[in-house]
Each structure stands twice: as structure tokens, then as C-alpha cells.
Amino acid sequence: MKAKPSEGFLDFFQDLPDPRINRKKLYSVDEILLLTLAAVICAAEGWEDIELYGKQKLEYLRKFLPYANGIPSDDTLRRFFRRINPQEFQKRFAAWAENLKTNVQKLISIDGKVSRHSFDGDKSPLHTVSAFASEARLVLAQTKVSDKSNEIKAIPELLELLDINGAIVTIDAMGCQREIAEQIIESKADYVLSLKGNQGKLHQDIKLIFSDDGLLKELDISRAQTVDGGHGRIETRTCRALKIPESLAKIHQWPGLKTIIEIDSIREHKEHCTREKRYYISSLEKDASALAHIIRSHWSIENSLHWILDVSFNDDASRIRKGNAPQNIGIIKHAALNMLQQNKQKRESIKGLRKAAGWNDERLTSIIQQ
């Protein structure tokens, strides 16, 4: 029996519901998934690219699966991914991603992204919310939303897909909701949530505390400061964290809330200087250095996921747009990115690694069998 690539990956999709009529199945689910995954790893961007890749690499692909009927056409691929249930596809992806063992502390960032060219007529572009293991640089799960406001409904569904026991979950202000905080605590995890105007009274009260110098002198505050820069820019970030006063905790009654946080950022560039203060709430103890690192790590979802998808995978320009295909191909891209991140060597870029995989079959095998 032929070995399957990427031990465990295809196994997680063995029971994926297949909507195709049995007598018309010329290609197994495994064959379609392996072809698509390998092609996307090697920089294919659309259905025609995937078919062309398969035709050029048929003998290589047959090292793993039969492909007795050759390579599926672009129309076959298109129809398959439009019809596959994305919720079922996502469940299996999340189970596989959870199975990727790392020794890195679980810092899970949750944030939304729009694939701007995935619209179809009056249909809006694909808007997804993703969970990203910040330090391990692994995509854990994603779910589709209709617009930015519906991220509030999508985040609990996303958390349900994950085992967050022992993790620290970071979410921007849209996800700063009591119900979400409660779900995280009940899952035996901790949270750091960005706080803005959507929690107006709590936001105002915390701002007042950090602006009251007399009160702050009476409180036990943890402080940490970092300075970095480059290209003529210097940024100084000061983190102040304190245990939430009992009076404030009683008024707002947030599940698990222990600490309130202020980040004071000063950016200097040539003769220009800007200053911004941001506020957060957390179920963690007041350790300014640790909290500053966690808050900073949240933005890795922008730099190590969204930016890479747009720049290396050309995601913003994708014209895969009909049926369930945008969601399902999004999941394939996340799987490819996870495999690439785990195989990437020091100082090697994702873009460069995709080229190497396309040019060197041994490198591709090391990626998909890792």
C-alpha cells in the first residue's frame, strides 16, 4: 500500500462528506486534496494553475496515490470545492492543526481578514475570522462571517473548534464581550482583550484610573518599557498594569477579570512625534513585562498570517469566488502555510520556500511529509 504524504493530514479528511455522485467519481477525495495542497504549496493560484501543476507532476504525485484516471480538470476541481461543506472541511482542518505538536506556549490571536477580490457580482468578498498560534506561527482554524460586525457571533463558534485549555487568547476590541470572556474562562484559558468605545463605561473608567496620578501612587503598579526602531524611527512603549480595584470589579462584573492595562506608545520620526494610549483587560496577574509581550505578539497575526497570505499567496487578488470554494481554498492555503512554516529554515522566506518546493521534489516531499 502506498504511503500517504504528511502523516495524518489526509487521514483527518477520510470521512469528509463527498457530495459527488458515486458513478461520476473519477478521482478520490485524497487525490484532489493532495493535488491541490501540493500545487498551492508550489505557488499555484487558481484552478488552471492547479491542473497544469498536476499534469507536469503526475509521476511525482503517483508516488503517493494512484491517479489512475490522470489529473482532474480545472472544471472538476472547481465543482468539487464549490460543493464541499466548509464547516465539515474546517472541523477536520482544526483537528489536524491541533495535532501539530509544538513545545511553544499557546498564545492564540484571533482577528478578521477580507479577501478583497473574492466577490461575485453583488456578493461581498470573503470575510473570515482566524485563530493563529502566535509563537508557533500556525493557523488553527477559521470561520466565515458576513461583515465586520458579525465577528462577535463568529468568535464563539471559532473558539468551539479549538482546545484552548491552558492557552492565552488575545482579541481586538470587536471581541471584547462578556460572553466571549466567560467562554474563554470556562474553557480553562486566559484572555487579554483590547478595550475601546464598544465597552464605553468600562473604557472610560479605566482611562480615568490611569490618568489619576494621586490614585496611582496608592496602588501597586507593575511597569515595563521597551524601545526599538529603525530607518530613522524610534518607538517607546510603556506598559502599566494593575490589579483591578474591587469597586470597579463589582460595578462591571467581567468574568475572570483581574488586571487592567495601559500601553503608552510614543513614535518619533525625524521631527515628528505621535503618541497613543491603548487599554486592555486581562484574566492574568499584573506582570507588565509578560503582558506587554502578549499584546505585542497579538499583531503577529497581521505580519505572519494576513501579510504573508496577501504578499506570498496573493490572497487579496484571488478570483476564486463562487459557492463554497473561497472558504475551502482558504483552508487549503492555511494548511499549506502551516506546513511551510514548520519546514522553513532560518532566514528563509515563505515565498522562497514555495519556489524551492516547486523546483525540487525532495524539498516538497519534506514539506508534505513533515
| Count of other CB atoms within 10 angstroms of residue 135 | 16
pLDDT at 4: 52
The answer to whether 57 and 37 are in contact (CB under 8 A) is no
Asked if the structure places residue 316 within a domain, the reply is no
The answer to whether 281 and 261 are in contact (CB under 8 A) is yes
**Range of 361's domain?**
10-85+324-368
Please indicate, yes or no, whether residues 55 and 125 belong to a single structural domain of this protein. no
Asked if the structure places residue 249 within a domain, the reply is yes
pLDDT at 6: 46
Please indicate, yes or no, whether residues 293 and 332 belong to a single structural domain of this protein. no
pLDDT in tens, the chain (370 residues): 354 554 578 999 999 999 998 877 899 999 999 999 999 999 999 999 999 999 999 999 999 999 999 999 999 999 999 999 999 999 999 999 988 866 556 899 998 877 655 445 545 667 788 899 888 888 899 888 765 557 888 899 999 999 999 999 999 988 899 999 999 999 999 999 999 877 879 999 999 999 998 888 888 899 999 998 777 789 899 999 999 999 999 999 999 999 999 999 999 987 789 999 999 999 999 999 999 999 998 887 777 787 788 877 877 667 777 889 989 999 999 999 999 998 998 889 999 999 999 999 999 999 998 6
Distance (Å, rounded) from C-alpha 150 to C-alpha 361?
43
Please indicate, yes or no, whether residues 78 and 177 belong to a single structural domain of this protein. no
Asked if the structure places residue 262 within a domain, the reply is yes
Write down which residue in 274, 305, 336 finishes a domain. Answer: 305
Asked if the structure places residue 91 within a domain, the reply is no
Please indicate, yes or no, whether residues 73 and 187 belong to a single structural domain of this protein. no
pLDDT at 314: 77
pLDDT at 302: 78
Please indicate, yes or no, whether residues 62 and 143 belong to a single structural domain of this protein. no
Please indicate, yes or no, whether residues 131 and 207 belong to a single structural domain of this protein. yes
Please indicate, yes or no, whether residues 145 and 246 belong to a single structural domain of this protein. yes
Distance (Å, rounded) from C-alpha 150 to C-alpha 197?
17
Q: Which amino acid, 39?
A: A
Please indicate, yes or no, whether residues 204 and 168 belong to a single structural domain of this protein. yes
80, 127, 326, 336, 358 from 317: Cα distances, Å: 22, 14, 12, 18, 21
Q: How many domains does the chain have?
A: 2
Asked if the structure places residue 330 within a domain, the reply is yes
Please indicate, yes or no, whether residues 241 and 328 belong to a single structural domain of this protein. no
Q: Is 59 exposed, middle or buried (0-12, 13-18, 19+ CB in 10 A)?
A: exposed
Please indicate, yes or no, whether residues 80 and 107 belong to a single structural domain of this protein. no
| Strand 190-195 versus strand 221-230 pairing type | unpaired
Distance (Å, rounded) from C-alpha 183 to C-alpha 195?
18
Please indicate, yes or no, whether residues 203 and 345 belong to a single structural domain of this protein. no
pLDDT at 317: 65
Asked if the structure places residue 196 within a domain, the reply is yes
Angle value at C-alpha 191, between 143 and 171, nearest 5 degrees: 40
Please indicate, yes or no, whether residues 24 and 152 belong to a single structural domain of this protein. no
The answer to whether 7 and 101 are in contact (CB under 8 A) is no
